[in-house]
Amino acid sequence: MSRIGRKPVPVPGGVKVAVTGQDVQVEGPKGKLQLAVHPLITVVMGDEGKEILVQRSNDERESRALHGLMRSLVNNMVVGVSQGFIKKLEIQGVGYQAQLKGKQVALQVGFANQIVLEPPEGVTVTLADPTHMTISGADKQAVGQFAAVVRKSRPPEPYKGKGIRYEGEVVRRKAGKAFGSK
């Protein structure tokens, strides 16, 4: 039996959860999220609305796989609307920088033109300085996806380490040609 799926999802104060059929809506101080639950899984409110229970209809392989997944998705929604999710990016390289143009992010990362990216709905981007970017929002998937798109515009290269990386990410460096030719 799924260990993750059996755990009830605690609902903190200030978060409203509405379960109608196969739809789960969660609303909190950071935003509002909605999820269509798979037909093999049922979502039920626990005692006095303080927890959410995720149950499966049978013991088949697909149901067992979806049980833990749906519980994790519901839990991420509850955490997202109450606390939110954050991804931090660092830009390294001479002349590499980011700017905010309204909601859009303009990246100057060694190409002839600026790369302009539009964050999805519910995702906000802030810049502490031109080389440190914070991406935040209530939807974990949208925050992570936009951070991956920004990083992919110029991933860190192994010779000089220039590019966009997650904060704390370790990039393995290579020696290069000069070192190996002697």
Say yes or no to pLDDT of 19 above 70: yes
Q: Is 72 contained in some domain?
A: yes
* Of 164 and 3, the one with more pLDDT: 164
Q: How many domains does the structure of the chain reveal? A: 2
Q: Over range 109-119, report the average pLDDT.
A: 94
* pLDDT tens string 129-158: 999 999 999 999 999 999 999 999 999 999
With tokens 């998705």, the residue in question is: 73
Are 7 and 77 in a shared domain? yes
Q: Is 142 contained in some domain?
A: yes
Q: Is 175 contained in some domain?
A: no
Are 78 and 117 in a shared domain? no
Are 92 and 60 in a shared domain? no
Among the candidates 82, 103, 127, a domain finishes at 82
Q: With bands split at pLDDT 50, 70 and 90, how would you rate the model's confidence at 165?
A: very high
Are 142 and 162 in a shared domain? yes
Q: What is the percentage of the chain residues whose pLDDT exceeds 90? A: 82
Q: Is 181 contained in some domain?
A: no
Among the candidates 82, 109, 138, a domain finishes at 82
Are 76 and 101 in a shared domain? no
18: domain CATH number is 3.90.930.12
* Of 2 and 121, the one with more pLDDT: 121
pLDDT at 105: 95
Are 107 and 161 in a shared domain? yes
Q: Is 177 contained in some domain?
A: no
Entry pTM: 0.89
Q: Is 92 contained in some domain?
A: yes
* pLDDT tens string 48-65: 778 999 999 898 999 999
Are 93 and 44 in a shared domain? no
Among the candidates 82, 105, 137, a domain finishes at 82
The tokens describing 58, both together, are 């049978």
Say yes or no to pLDDT of 87 above 70: yes
pLDDT at 111: 93
The tokens describing 46, both together, are 């626990």
- Between CA 116 and CA 123 the distance in angstroms is 15
Q: By the 8 A CB rule, do 92 and 163 touch?
A: yes
Are 68 and 113 in a shared domain? no
Between 57-61, 83-87, 114-118, 175-179, the lowest mean confidence (pLDDT) is in 175-179
Please give the sequence-ordered ranges of beta strands (E in DSSP) within the chain, or none if there are none.
9-10, 16-20, 23-28, 31-36, 41-45, 51-56, 85-92, 97-101, 104-108, 115-117, 123-129, 132-137, 163-166
Say yes or no to pLDDT of 104 above 90: yes
Q: With bands split at pLDDT 50, 70 and 90, how would you rate the model's confidence at 178?
A: confident
Are 129 and 58 in a shared domain? no
Average pLDDT, the chain: 91
**129: domain range?**
85-166
Q: Over range 2-8, report the average pLDDT.
A: 85
Angle between helices 140-152 and 61-82 (to 10 degrees): 90
